[in-house]
Structure 1
C-alpha cells in the first residue's frame, strides 16, 4: 500500500474534535487538530478510505511541499521548482484554488494566477506545449495555502466538496448541508441505539445522515467520483478493496427513523432522496404537522432538526419557537431533542432551559445547536431513581 504521508482534512467550525474522533476510529495516525482542519497520516489506501468514510470532512488534501515566501517572485520560483509532470500530463486539465492568510499577500486570485503561470511556463519550456485550465471538471485540483509567509502546495484528493454525497437530487428552500447535518448528529451523540425523529425534515438530509451513521454506511458511498480517480497513480483495484472492506463493516439497525414535514412537496422530495441513498428499509417519511404530533414509540427517542429561522422561510418566530417548546414539553416525554438555529433571539421563546448550547455555523450564519431533555415523569423522579 505504499508509505504513509501527511494529509489535511478540512471541516466546518466546531466539528474539529468530531472529525478527529472519526479519523482515529478508521485508523488514522498522528491526528492533530487545527482551525477548521485536522491533519493526519496514512497511505494511499487510507486517503481513499478517508474520502469514502468521513462524515464531517469537506475535503481531503495531500500536501506535496511547502516553503517560506516573501514576494510574488518567490512564489513563482517555488511553484516552478516542483516537478509537475509527476502529477500532470499535457493532455490533463488543472485548476487552482488559493487561500491567503497573510500581511504580505492579500489577493488569493492573484496567487492562483501566479501558480498557473509557473506551471504552464514549466511545461512550455520542457515540451513546447502546455496543459489547459478547466475550473469545472479538472483532472488535477491544486490547493495553495499561504499562512503568513509559509506557502503550502497540496493536491485536492476530493474534488467537489464532500458534502455532495450523491444522494440528494431533490431539495427545498434552505436545505441543510450534508456535512453540517452529520456533524450536528454526531455532536448530539446520535449512535443509532434508539429511535430517531426529524419533525421538520425538509428534503430528508438529517434522516438520511442519521440512518447512515446508525448502519455505519460510508458517508460518500453514493458519490459519483473523487478527484483522485483522475490522478496518474490512481489504483482502481486498491480502491475497490477499500470500498468492499468499508461496506463489510455496516451494521444492523433495530429502531425506527422517521421524518415528518407538513409540506407534501417536501415529503415527495425526501422520499426521492431516501430512495437514491438506498435507505427505504430504514427511513419512513410522513406528511404531518409537528405541532399536532405526539411521541409514537416506546422507550428513548432522539430528535434532531433544523427549524426555519431566517427570511427565506416566513414564520412568526416568537409564536413558532413557543410552539416548539410546548409540543416537546407536552407530547414528547423521554426524549432528547436537539435543534440548530441562527436566530439566537428565538431561543428565548422556547420556554424551556437548554441543557447544552454548542456554537456552530450554518454557512456564514453563527448558530447554536441546543439540547432540551424531556423527562418521562417529573425531573425530581428521574434523580431519585
Structure 2
C-alpha cells in the first residue's frame, strides 16, 4: 500500500473523503485543504480517472526536516532520483507553504530543482530540462513549520480541468466545486435537476456526467503519471476500458439548464457536445420571471452573481427577491439551493433556510443556502 494526498478546495474535505471511500481508498483522514489515503497503484490511477471533487493527487516521496535552504538541498540530494526520472525527462517543481528560513516559494522550488539536476550531472553528465507548463515529472514540495513533504504530482494539471469545457461564461464555477455542490445538496441521479441560471452549463453537465456514470478523466488527454518511469500501461488501459464499459446510455431522471442569455447557452451546448451530453441535457432560453417547474419534484441549484465579480449589489437585490418569489410560487415539492457570497443579498430571498452550509468558491467564503419548498 502507498500513501497519497488529495488536494481539495478548502471546506470540502469531508465531501472528498466520502468520494475517496467510494473509490476504494483506505486509511482516510482529513487535513487542511486535503485528504490523506492509502491504496495501490491502480487506486492512484482510478482516483485520477473518476474523482469529481479533487484537484490533484500527490504521491509522497519523502518527508524530512528542512530548517534552512542548505538542509533542504542536502535532503533532496539524498534521494536516488534515478528511480523517479531520467535526464531525458523534463521537470517542474511547485513549492507551497513557508517557514522563517524558506519564505519564498520560487527560491525553495529552485533549491529542489538544483539538488536534483546536480545529482543527475554528477552521475550521468546530463540533466533534466525544466518545463513549467507540461513537464514529464511535476514535483510538489510542501513546507509546514520546519518540515517538508516532497511528492510527485500524479495529476499533472488540476483535475478540475476536465477537458470538455473550452467555452466558459463570465464567472464559471470550477467543475470540482460544481460536483461538490451537487453532493452537498444531496442530489442523486434518480432526482430531476434544474439550474435556472446555468450560464455555460457547469452544474447541469457535472450532474449529467454523474447520472450517466461517465468518468470525468476520460475527457482529459494527459495525467502526470503517464510519463512516470514506473507507469503501468496495462493497468491504465484496463481501468479506462472498465470506465468506458460502465457508462450508461440514458439519464435516470431529467436534467435541465435554463438561462436568459442565448449566447451563453450556445457555450453550454458546445460544452455538452464535447462530453457527449448534447442529447441528454435539456437546455433552453428562459428568463427567471418565466421559469416554471419542469417536474413535480426535484433539486434546484444555482449560483447567481453576488457582487464579487458580476453586477452591483444594489442591482442584484431584485434578482434574489425574484428567486425567492419564484421558488415559493412555482416550486412546491422541490428542494432549492443558492450559492452566495453575500449575506445581505441572501436576505433578499425572503424564505426561511433549512440549512446554511459554508463553502469556499476559490478564496471567497460563501454559503450554500437550502430551502425546503412546501
TM-score range, shorter chain: over 0.9
When normalised by structure 1's length, the TM-score is 0.94
1:275 matched to which residue of 2?
273
Q: Deviations over 1:137-194 (max 9, x none)?
A: 1010000011112111100000110000011011110111111111111111111121
Whether 1:49 aligns to 2:46 is yes
Give the RMSD, CA atoms, in angstroms: 1.3
Cα distance, 1:292 vs. partner? Answer: 1.5
1:361 matched to which residue of 2?
360
2:79 matched to which residue of 1?
82
**The one of 176, 179, 184 aligned to 2:176:** 179
Q: How many residues align?
A: 371
1:372 matched to which residue of 2?
371
Give secondary structure in 2 for the equivalent of 1:345.
helix
Per mean C-alpha deviation after superposition, the further-off stretch among 48-57 and 209-218 is 209-218
2:202 matched to which residue of 1?
205
Distance in 2 between the 1:228 and 1:296 partners? 44
Q: Deviations over 1:36-61 (max 9, x none)?
A: 11111111111100001111110000
Distance 1:363 1:46, change over 3 A: same
2:263 matched to which residue of 1?
265
Cα distance, 1:311 vs. partner? Answer: 5.0
Distance in 2 between the 1:301 and 1:236 partners? 42
1:380 matched to which residue of 2?
none
Cα distance, 1:103 vs. partner? Answer: 3.6
Distance in 2 between the 1:148 and 1:117 partners? 22
2:319 matched to which residue of 1?
320
2:146 matched to which residue of 1?
149
When normalised by structure 2's length, the TM-score is 0.96
Mapping for residues 1-385 of structure 1, pairs under 5 Å: 4-251=1-248, 252-298=250-296, 300-310=297-307, 312-314=309-311, 316-375=315-374
Distance in 1 between the 2:364 and 2:309 partners? 14
Given that residues 328 and 374 in structure 1 are in contact (C-alpha distance below 8 angstroms), is that contact kept between their aligned partners in structure 2?
Answer: yes
Distance in 1 between the 2:165 and 2:357 partners? 27
Given that residues 288 and 322 in structure 2 are in contact (C-alpha distance below 8 angstroms), is that contact kept between their aligned partners in structure 1?
Answer: no
Given that residues 172 and 199 in structure 2 are in contact (C-alpha distance below 8 angstroms), is that contact kept between their aligned partners in structure 1?
Answer: yes
Unpaired runs of at least 5, structure 2: none
1:381 matched to which residue of 2?
none
Given that residues 257 and 283 in structure 1 are in contact (C-alpha distance below 8 angstroms), is that contact kept between their aligned partners in structure 2?
Answer: yes
Distance 1:29 1:210, change over 3 A: same
Distance in 2 between the 1:366 and 1:57 partners? 19
Per mean C-alpha deviation after superposition, the further-off stretch among 155-164 and 63-72 is 63-72
Cα distance, 1:219 vs. partner? Answer: 2.3
1:379 matched to which residue of 2?
none
